Amino acid sequence: MAEEKKNTLNEASVAGAAPSEPQRRGKPRMDFKVLGRVFKMLVGFYPKLVPITAFCIIFSSVCAVMPAVFQQKTIAKISDVLKEEVAASVGLEPDAEAEAQAKGEEFISQKLDLENYWEEEKHDIINLVAVLIAFYVLSILSSTLYRLLIAEITQGFLCKTRQHMFDKMQNLPVKFFDTKKHGDIMSVYTNDIDTLRELVSQAFPQMLTSGIIVIGVFAVMLWYSVWLALVVILGVMAMMLVSKKLGGGSAKYFTRQQKAVGKTEGFIQEMMNGQRVIKVFTHEKKCIDDFNEINNALFEDSYKAHAYANTLGPVIMNIGNLLYVIIATVGGALLLAKVPNPSVQNLVNGLGLGVLTIDIVVPFLNMTKQFTGNVNQLAQQVNIIAMASAGAKRVFELMDAEPEVDDGYVTLVNAEIDGNGNITESEKRTGRWAWKHPHKEDGTVTYTELRGDVRMTNVDFSYVEDKPVLHDISVYAEPGQKVAFVGATGAGKTTITNLINRYYDIADGKIRYDGINVNKIKKSDLRRSLGIVLQDTNLFTGTVMENIRYGRLDATDEDCMQAAELAGAADFISRLPDGYNTELSNNGANLSQGQRQLIAIARCAVADPPVMILDEATSSIDTRTEAIVQRGMDKLMEGRTTFVIAHRLSTVRNSDVIMVLDHRHIIERGSHEKLIAERGTYYRLYTGAFELE
Amino acid sequence: MFRRILKSVREFKLPTYLTFICMVFEAGIECVIPFITAELINKIRSGAVLGDVIVTGLILAGMAMVSLLCGWLGGICCAKASSGFSRNLRSDLFSKIQNFSFESVDKFSSASLVTRLTTDIQNVGMAYMMVIRTAIRSPLMFVFAIIMAYTMGGALSMTFVVVIPVLIFGLLIIARFAMPAFHRVFRKYDKLNESIEENVRGMRVVKGFSREEYEKRKFEKASEDIRKDFVKAEKIVAMNNPLMQICMNFNMVFVLLVGSKMIIGSGAADLDVGHMSSMLTYGVQILMSLIMLSMIYVMLTISMESFRRIDEVLREEPILVNPENPVFEVADGSVDFDGVSFKYFSEAKKAALDGIDIHIPSGATVGILGGTGSSKSTLVQLIPRLYDVTEGSVRVGGRDVREYDLDTLRSSVSMVLQKNMLFSGTIAENLRWGNPDATDEEIEQACELAQASEFVHSFPQGYDTYIEQGGTNVSGGQKQRLCIARALLKRPKVLILDDSTSAVDTRTDALIREGFKKFIPETTKIIIAQRVASVQDADIIIVMDGGRIAAVGTHEELLEKSDIYREVFEQQVSGKEDR
């Protein structure tokens, strides 16, 4: 049942990421190139442990087969002794067993010295059993060892793969995250990694074990009897046929079920979020009716998917039973009819064809069980491997995604600047920065003081080709100036800030930072020099203090508290249950949006960056609180170049320059007073005759 | 708990019982097959006639077919039963939530309700399927196999007296150690995934602060930590294997040794070879069914958490219930608060509302102003009885809201919530939430009044424009106006706007208020706003502060007597002196 649950999960990930291909096929296909890479990675991580484990697996599967042989030998021995007994007691030829068996009653009455036989044969039997025990011990030891090793290897492999993926992911450009659904990325870390776990911990060892057993047992079967081996092969083929048929059906309906699940979850999500509206409008009844409809559709698909999946097991198992019976019957019939029995054994020993004997039929029955069982195991692994190869493909896709290119060589350093304007690099934090600009041609290094002069000239940009978002934008921000962007949603305000810190690269034009082309500045240093507060506040799991410290990792508690004070966040933080040590989780779900923004502002304040970008940083703070925050913000912005995007025009009023963006262009620019005097779009916006957003 | 959840099985009792029956047959036959096979082997061994062998073979084949049929039927019935049970449970839970009060919704949070309706139900459905299939089958197999082993093996079956307790004891010990280990791992694993999600979502922040390396180190540590725990947990589980092998092998050795002594020592009278082989088969069956049972035990404990979480929802008592003889008629739109105080949780130290006395005549326009956390929204939510007062009473149309039929009350009191939303569907469909029978003219009228008609007509498909989930394809201001139109379609006696025009520009905002005055003069209008402009021409303005009424009066009166009001007014107006 656990298998089935996993199946649905896997199907989900298969269906989710690449909907067209697997749905038509019903089942994901194996991709040996991808599997090869997985294997190579595995061996790469554990060059010694993998072969050792493989050896243990092989050894233990051989050990697992051997006991059956000795068990059979013991039983054969007992039969032999029995025959002797019978022969001795009645004085008949040993092979006329039937009659002897019929007279079984008699030899007890005759009270032959049966105990003697036991005493005589005890030795042989105990010897056989001792060998058996030895194999058992070996088998237990080796299989336990390999299981422990597999646990080690699997988790180590997953851990390293996960780390590898995460490392690569950190270096991906923002564009990747903007264009991919977050759920899809997450699914790689959860569902797809899970398929790899099954591959390494289950499919690989099982394939090895079952493969060896299948080959071994089949060889032994041919050794004994070709005819019976053929019957077994036919049976196995029937099994494969059925499992393909039923498995295909179940895969088909599982994909459909997954779709229905998606639909139901979407509906549930919407309705749970809108629960209050539903109640206010007394819409409960209608809502339940709608839900039942979707729920019924889900039931139909899930029922069919499980019906197929549930029947597969018993059907396969009973075909196995049938095969067992058929072998017994056919074997018995061949035996009694004394049909010639071609076998490898006879061929090797040059005995001609020979006939089937009971000593062949009985072990053959057990071998049949073992054979079908392991073929079945192999078939199941095929499914897992197919799933895993689809999962691994997505894992590799994430790993192979084009990382952010960074050709920048200009770095940001702490600087000491003397009276003459000479700049020297400093180890300590001096509160002043400089751009360190190495010149390749002559090997010299020049330092430029960071002043916060940002100029964009004739910038063009588009997220998708042929759909320009910005056209011919020129913005000059002199050191310490406050530049505001105003415009409707989609006018491209946020895009401009995306370009300054190079989340995206411009298509045409130039952006210069203190006279240096931003493309030459190392991205991490460029971004370090720019503080950013975004509209959608993202906080991390951890305490309030840790979240503020995110801005500057070496900040002391006092620094953080000061920053919070500056941002106007100190007041509410002190009222939290544990103050600065309050644990935040789930993006600060226990805080209001306004409070989250205050923390984000504090986080930016502690970083103390020379240039700041505030993208709707105070949109969710009520006007009274904003007045308080504003004071802090004003202090924060003092002497820094600041780019502000705000919905509330009261926030942008005191900017040095206000840019009004409309349809990719800057349509108005100037100070508040100038724009009001012009009576243009800004004027209309400001007087409320125009709607923002 | 189980009984309450299992109530949802309902019409799927029959397939459930059928599954039981099929499983009984399947298990029974599966146990008889080795017995008959032993007979067959003995027959072949003793050189019976061909016909005899074939007859026994046919019987066996027939049994395998019956067993196949039972397994097949059982699989289908079981799929039906568990899928049906999940469906019913999901439906029951959903209906239950629909009858929740706001208080209960707050208590559970919508995200957790979603998990309960999806993942948890899936887990419970799976557990149900497993239990009806295996939990009957395995013990049955166990009992059948023991009986068969005893009848065939006699004294030989004594081996099970040793093996079974050892196995059970061992499995229990392993489960006992493994379960907490896995719980710990899964909790950590969830946390790890959460942190990945945070990174995916907050990549701009990570990159903005150049924290890539920091995040990598953090993740590496967390990932390594999980690896260690995972390995530990899996190693505990890996011990199942030697335990199982030891038990099986012991069984094998015992049967072979003692069995051979019995056979040879009695001349095959006490035991014959065929029976001894069957004993080995039964031994495997018995031990396998025990292992299956232990797996069920583990699975059940894992899904226990889901059971508990679903039960929590089912158990939740409806807090707001209709009175015995409800009033179905709301006389007019007058609203009175008499000495009202309110706490969200009875154990809360501070009351959200305290000592509220307000009397609003029918048809009046009331403005409510106050900072974040001043309980403005809480105040108005008491009017449509979204919550019940802790003390005092709220009256609408002269009667306590607790005397009304809930639907009647809420149909007469229309509220536009602060956190509003539209649902996926066309604009017209969304608007008809207000009144399912509204004609196109009525919809047009309502939109006219809410100043929405103009932009709706600007859409190519007008009222048939499809609203995406979450209303992402209309702007905030448009969404708010559509929500107002939806509320107007109810033709309410009391209309409450909870900060519902914040994204609407001031001119449109004024137009909406003018329209209210002109076209729905008899409706009581209660408007919560951040902008003074939105409330300044109201008949009564209420200034809230910290859950109390700070001041009540008209714009002019408040400018004189309320410091808070004056402060807010000056701050907002001074910002626009150029106007």
User: Consecutive 10-residue runs of chain A (693 residues): their mean pLDDT?
Assistant: 35 34 44 88 91 89 75 74 69 46 46 64 81 86 90 92 90 84 80 86 89 86 85 87 81 81 84 82 86 92 87 81 82 79 76 72 78 81 80 89 85 81 78 83 83 87 80 86 79 80 85 88 86 81 89 89 86 83 76 79 87 76 66 79 78 83 82 84 70 47
Residues of chain A in contact with residue B110, where contact means CB-CB under 8 angstroms, are: 272-273, 275
**Same structural domain, A224 and A363:** yes
**Which of B11, B96, B182, B200 should be substituted to probe chain A, the one whose Cβ sees the most A Cβ atoms within 10 Å?**
B200
Predicted pLDDT of residue A30: 66
Question: What is the set of domains in chain B, with CATH numbers?
Answer: 2-315 (1.20.1560.10), 335-418+493-574 (3.40.50.300)
Closest-CA distance, B471 to chain A, in angstroms, reads 11
**Does residue A692 sit within a domain?**
no
Predicted pLDDT of residue B91: 93
A530-533 and A611-615 strand pairing: parallel
Residues of chain B in contact with residue A264, where contact means CB-CB under 8 angstroms, are: 90, 118
User: DSSP letter string over A560-575?
Assistant: HHHHHHHHT-HHHHHT
Distances from the Cα of A367 to the Cα of A328, A559, B37, angstroms: 12, 75, 15
Instruction: Report phi then psi at A409, rounded to 5.
Output: -130, -5
The arrangement of strands across the sheet holding A611-615 comes to A530-533, A611-615, A641-645, A482-487, A657-662, A665-670
Residue in A107, A268, A315 nearest the CB of B267: A107
**CATH number of the domain residue A587 falls in:** 3.40.50.300
**Does residue A405 sit within a domain?**
no
Q: Is B388 in contact with B417 (CB distance < 8 Å)?
A: no
**Same structural domain, A365 and A417:** no
**Does residue A691 sit within a domain?**
no
**Which residues 514-573 on chain A approach chain B with CB closer than 8 angstroms?**
523-525, 527-528, 530-532, 534, 538-541, 550-551, 553
Please count the structural domains in chain A. 3
Q: In which residue are the tokens 């030998």 written? A: A73
Distance, CA of B189 to chain centre: 21
Given a cut of 90, is residue B61 above it in pLDDT? no
**Does residue A533 sit within a domain?**
yes
**CATH number of the domain residue A321 falls in:** 1.20.1560.10
**Does residue A406 sit within a domain?**
no
Side-chain half-sphere exposure of B553, counting CA atoms within 13 A: 13
Both tokens of residue B255?
């049967």
Q: Rounded CA gap, B22 and B12, in Å? A: 15
Side-chain half-sphere exposure of A536, counting CA atoms within 13 A: 8
**Same structural domain, A199 and A235:** yes
Any B CB within 8 A of A125 CB: yes
Burial class (CB in 10 A: 0-12, 13-18, 19+), A54: middle
Residue in A85, A268, A541 nearest the CB of B114: A268
Closest-CA distance, B366 to chain A, in angstroms, reads 20
Closest-CA distance, B254 to chain A, in angstroms, reads 10
Both tokens of residue B573?
């107006």
**Which residues 371-430 on chain A approach chain B with CB closer than 8 angstroms?**
none
Residues of chain A in contact with residue B70, where contact means CB-CB under 8 angstroms, are: 314
Side-chain half-sphere exposure of A528, counting CA atoms within 13 A: 19
**Same structural domain, A434 and A511:** no
Given a cut of 80, is residue B418 above it in pLDDT? no
Once rounded to an integer, what is the mean pLDDT over residues B78-89?
A: 93
Single-letter residue type at A523: K
3-class DSSP string for A340-396: ECCCHHHHHHCCCCCECCHHHHHHHHHHHHHHHHHHHHHHHHHHHHHHHHHHHHHHH
The residue from A381, A400, A419 where one domain ends is A400
The answer to whether the Cβ–Cβ distance between B371 and A625 falls below 8 Å is yes
**Same structural domain, A555 and A636:** yes
Q: Is B435 in contact with B491 (CB distance < 8 Å)?
A: yes
**Which of A140, A356, A691 should be substituted to probe chain B, the one whose Cβ sees the most B Cβ atoms within 10 Å?**
A691
Predicted pLDDT of residue A387: 79
**Which residues 589-608 on chain A approach chain B with CB closer than 8 angstroms?**
592, 594, 607
- Determine what percent of chain B is predicted with pLDDT higher than 70: 95
**Same structural domain, A424 and A298:** no
Q: pLDDT tens, B218-248?
A: 889 988 998 999 899 888 888 888 888 888 8
Residues of chain A in contact with residue B202, where contact means CB-CB under 8 angstroms, are: 538-540, 587
Both tokens of residue A570?
């100190």
**Residue A232 CB: number of other CB atoms within 10 A?**
24
**Same structural domain, A292 and A381:** yes
The answer to whether the Cβ–Cβ distance between A276 and B419 falls below 8 Å is yes
**Residue B156 CB: number of other CB atoms within 10 A?**
21
The one-character DSSP state at A671 is -
The answer to whether the Cβ–Cβ distance between B410 and A280 falls below 8 Å is yes
Where is pLDDT greater, at A301 or B41?
A301
Closest-CA distance, A219 to chain B, in angstroms, reads 23
**Same structural domain, A444 and A347:** no
User: DSSP letter string over A114-147?
Assistant: HHHHHHHHHHHHHHHHHHHHHHHHHHHHHHHHHH
Once rounded to an integer, what is the mean pLDDT over residues B293-315?
A: 83
Residue in B58, B94, B207 nearest the CB of A503: B207
Kindly indicate the confidence band of residue B486, based on its pLDDT and cuts at 50, 70 and 90.
very high
**Does residue A528 sit within a domain?**
yes
The answer to whether the Cβ–Cβ distance between A532 and B208 falls below 8 Å is yes
Domain that holds residue A521: 454-686
Distances from the Cα of A331 to the Cα of A337, A339, B53, B304, angstroms: 10, 10, 10, 50
Task: Tell which phi-psi region holds residue A608, choosing left (phi > 0), alpha (psi between -120 and 50) or beta.
Answer: left
**Same structural domain, A368 and A436:** no
**Does residue A374 sit within a domain?**
yes
Predicted pLDDT of residue B540: 92
Q: Is A612 in contact with A532 (CB distance < 8 Å)?
A: yes
Q: pLDDT tens, B245-295?
A: 888 888 888 888 888 777 777 766 666 777 777 777 788 788 888 878 877
**Does residue A109 sit within a domain?**
yes
Q: pLDDT tens, B354-397?
A: 889 999 999 999 999 887 667 888 899 899 888 889 899 999 99
Q: What is the H or E stretch that residue A494 is in?
A: helix A493-500
Closest-CA distance, A55 to chain B, in angstroms, reads 18
Looking at every residue in chain B, the average pLDDT score rounds to: 84
Kindly indicate the confidence band of residue B577, based on its pLDDT and cuts at 50, 70 and 90.
very low
Q: Rounded CA gap, B430 and B420, in Å? A: 12
**Same structural domain, A296 and A212:** yes
Report the candidate in B282, B283, B250, B247 with the shortest Cα–Cα distance to residue B174.
B247
Predicted pLDDT of residue A659: 87
A533, closest residue in chain B (CA to CA): B205
Both tokens of residue B110?
């919508």
Q: Rounded CA gap, B292 and B305, in Å? A: 21
Enumerate the β-bridge partners of residue B393: B338
**Same structural domain, A441 and A587:** no
Distances from the Cα of A583 to the Cα of A545, A603, A693, B348, angstroms: 9, 16, 34, 21
Hey, is A75 helix, strand or coil? helix
Given a cut of 70, is residue B170 above it in pLDDT? yes
**Same structural domain, A377 and A415:** no
Both tokens of residue A119?
């005493």
Which span out of A426-440, B42-56, B548-562 was modeled with the highest average pLDDT? B548-562
